[in-house]
Structure 1
Amino acid sequence: MRSVPDRDSVRERLLALLSGRMSREEVADWANPWVTADDPSIEDSVVWEALKELAGADLKVSPSAYLHGEDDFHAWLDAIETANASE
């Protein structure tokens, strides 16, 4: 498995998602191996929560509508930035 994601790598994926440089599917594909691993070795709870959210970025509620939208992506980014600012 690749190196363990940190807050910066999660933040970069969120920014790429919001800017359109990465699709929902690409971001979910990046996060999913960590979320589904038997032992992901992620000790930072902020990173873990963000990975779980990102793994579902491409979930749909219908053939043409996604479960999560831009407001969700901004909220996930805010959670990372707030955690970084409080340390």
Structure 2
Amino acid sequence: MSESIRDEIRKLLTGLTEGTIARDEAAQWARPWLAEEAGDVQDEAVWDTIDALSAADSATPDQGFLYGPEDFRAWLAEFDARVAGR
């Protein structure tokens, strides 16, 4: 997997944690990967994070968003750990 994809994912996750990237922007970036690139993504850390990002704007009718800043920080920490091979 290209380092540029990892870099882009990290930027999205960082932006979500800092509030500089909207949830829907991150989700819209990720969704085409799930539909169009599924067979091309061999990096499990990348694939799992793309899957998580696609749900960044998921909401429930009564409780608001399913994921928040704490979740985004956890996604970033997990992504960084997996990329580093820990």
TM (normalized to structure 1)?
Answer: 0.83
SS at match of 1:6: helix
Structure 2 CA distance for partners of 1:43 and 1:17, relative to 1, 3 Å: same
| Rounded Cα–Cα distance in structure 1 between residues aligned with 2:10 and 2:49 | 9
| Rounded Cα–Cα distance in structure 2 between residues aligned with 1:83 and 1:38 | 21
What amino acid maps onto 1:12 in structure 2? K
Counterpart position of 1:19: 18
Identity %: 33
| Rounded Cα–Cα distance in structure 1 between residues aligned with 2:23 and 2:72 | 10
Counterpart position of 2:71: 72
| Rounded Cα–Cα distance in structure 2 between residues aligned with 1:37 and 1:73 | 24
Post-superposition offset of 1:55 = 0.2
In structure 1, stretches of 5+ residues that fail to align are: none
| Rounded Cα–Cα distance in structure 2 between residues aligned with 1:84 and 1:13 | 15
Instruction: Name whichever of 12-21 and 56-65 sits farther off.
Output: 56-65
Post-superposition offset of 1:39 = 4.1
Aligned-residue Cα RMSD (Å) equals 2.3
Structure 2 CA distance for partners of 1:59 and 1:85, relative to 1, 3 Å: same
Give 1 or 2: higher helix fraction: 2
**Alpha carbons 1:25, 1:58 under 8 Å: kept:** yes
The 5-angstrom pairing of residues 8-87 of structure 1 reads 8-37=7-36, 39-62=38-61, 65-86=64-85
Post-superposition offset of 1:80 = 1.1
Q: For this pair of structures, how many residues does the alignment match? A: 85
TM (normalized to structure 2)?
Answer: 0.84
Post-superposition offset of 1:21 = 1.7
